[in-house]
Amino acid sequence: MKIFLPKNVLALLLVASFGVLVFYGCKKENTDCTAIILAKQLNDTMVVVSYADIIIAPQYQDVRVEGKTDIAGKFEHAFKYEGILDVIVFKPIEGTPDSLIGRGVIRLKPGETTTKTIFLK
């Protein structure tokens, strides 16, 4: 009694290779877009602005992210989709009604980390 005929072995190899192609071919790529915002003073670009408020939003308010920079003047957020977003960074100056403010635009690309430095004046 012959169980392993050449036709059976060939068919088994074809089914196994098809299964491998289907499972590895359908693997999703990382499409998250990471935005890193660095806040610095315009008059002295080596000085970072700690704990500044940040608003990242497009022209139309479908997506809006608000946050604060850390002690190193850095803010990081991961977006699910790509896009071109406006960035506003501001920090009130203590003891005065004035505040430091800076604006910019960041372009997010799928699977990439984009760093943007915003200078406040």
**pLDDT computed for residue 58 by the predictor:** 81
Q: Residues 76, 33: contact at Cβ < 8 Å?
A: no
Per residue in 37-51, pLDDT (tens digit) is 999 999 988 999 999
The answer, yes or no, to whether residue 5 has pLDDT greater than 70, is no
3 or 61, greater pLDDT: 61
The model's pTM is: 0.74
The answer, yes or no, to whether residue 19 has pLDDT greater than 80, is no
What is the side-by-side strand order in the sheet with 74-79?
74-79, 33-41, 113-120
Residue 23, token pair as written in the block: 């499972």
Residues 66-86: what's their mean pLDDT? 94
Residue 14, token pair as written in the block: 């074809």
Cα separation, 45 vs 36, in Å, equals 17
For tokens 């074809």, the residue is: 14
**pLDDT computed for residue 28 by the predictor:** 63
Average pLDDT, the chain: 86
The answer, yes or no, to whether residue 79 has pLDDT greater than 70, is yes
Q: Could you tell me the domains of the chain? A: 33-120 (2.60.40.1120)
pLDDT confidence of 101, banded at 50, 70, 90? very high
The answer, yes or no, to whether residue 2 has pLDDT greater than 60, is no
DSSP at 71:
T
Residue partners of 118: CB distance under 8 A and separation at least 6 = 37, 38, 39, 40, 87, 89, 102, 103, 104
DSSP at 31:
-
